[in-house]
Every structure is written in structure tokens, then in C-alpha cells.
Amino acid sequence: MVPFMERAEERKSYTEKSDDELIVLVQRGDRGSFDVLVKRYQRRIYFLALRMARDPDASDDLAQETFVNAYFAIGSFTVGRRFYTWLYRICMNLSINYLNKRKRAVPASQFDDEEDVLEREAGGPDAVDVLISKEKTAKIEAAIESLSPKYKSVLVLRVYEDMSYEEIAGTLGISVGTVMSRLFRARNKMLEALGELEEQDK
């Protein structure tokens, strides 16, 4: 029987443990260690899901499910590999499935509402610039939204997550060559869609 204080001490140092150390503990049945891992990666996973789904509720669900799936599959994780890449991959798969199933785009914006910005920036010298940039961001966002999940996923990982080609390949389970060609096509399609949106406004 481990004394209570000793256990508390142990728990306190959990946040200092590496991913691998925590994973080994989870694999041995220590659920508390998984909680530490969740806290460590919750933001990254939530925002990744948000970039893909563009819907806060769906992103919450996708992020939660990513961790639940990871927990039940952690027995198959080989210590030494990068945990977050593995998590990203689960999250991307869930997101792509979700997007494939979702019939039409959700209009909700992942970015700050225009009203918030106006409120914050009202009267400020940069108010007009902010509005222009806001409008541009919304259009870009719509252009990215119009991409198929296949292209959207590489673009999100490259542009928002700043992943290298190799990391993207690892996360999506495709070759680096495929990453290159998909990125090229995704960018082309995005610029085309953007052009069309700007054309509509004229």
C-alpha cells in the first residue's frame, strides 16, 4: 500500500514526465497519466479539429473522440514514436470522416466575430485595415472550406500547423511526393476559389 502523501507527490511530478513515460504508465493501467497527456495536447487537437470542421461544437466532439480513441488504442502505441503525430493522425482521420459525412458547409466562422472586432477596435486608427483584413480572411476561409477533405487536410497541416512535408506525410499516411502534389493542387484550387469569390463581389 503506497502512503497517500507519497502518491500525491508522485502525482505532482506527473506534469514533468515525458510523453513516453506517461504512455508507459497508461499502458500499465494508470489512467491519471492519460489525463496529463490530454491536458498537454488538448489545445492543439481542438484547434486542429476546428481548422478542419470550422464548427466549435463539432470540433469539441472530434477532439474529445480523438483522445478517447487514443486511450483505447494506446496498447498498440510503440513508445519512442512521436505521440502528438499519432494523435494528429487520429484527429485528422476523424475530421476527414466528419467532413465527408457532413452534407453542406457550416456557416459558423472559426475566427472572431466581426462585431467583436468592431467593438474592440472602434475608433482606433487601424479599424478600417482590420475590417479589410477581416473580409479577406473570411474569403480565404471560404475558399479553403470549398476544398475537398483530401486537399484541405494537407493545407491545414502545412499552413496552420506549420508541419514539414515529412510530418504531413506521417500524419496522413501518404508519401512525401503525394504531399507535394496535393499541396500544389490544394493551393491552385484555393486561389481559383478565391478568384471566383472576388469576382462575385465585383
Looking at residues 155 to 184 of the shown chain, list those that interact with another protein (rule: CB under 8 A): 158-160, 162, 165, 172-174, 180-181, 183-184
Piece of 4-12, 14-22, 39-47, 123-131 that binds another protein (CB under 8 A): 39-47
Q: Is 28 in the site for another protein (CB under 8 A)?
A: yes
Q: Which residues are registered as beta bridge partners of 79?
A: 81
> Contact with another protein (CB under 8 A): which of 10, 17, 44, 47?
47
Binding-site string for another protein from residue 5 to residue 24, where x marks contact by CB under 8 A and - marks none: --------------------
Q: Locate 124 and state its grid cell.
A: 482606433
Please list the alpha-helical segments (H only) found in 146-175.
149-155, 165-172
Please check whether residue 111 is in contact with residue 141, taking contact to mean a CB–CB distance below 8 angstroms.
Answer: yes
Give the contact letters, 77-106, x = binds to another protein (CB under 8 A), - = no.
Answer: xx--x----x--xx--xx-xxx--xx----
**Helix H segments across 13-55?**
19-27, 31-53
Q: Using an 8 Å Cβ cutoff, are 87 and 45 in contact?
A: yes
| Cell numbers standing for residue 54 | 470550422
Residues 119-148 that bind another protein (CB under 8 A): 133, 136-137, 140-141, 144
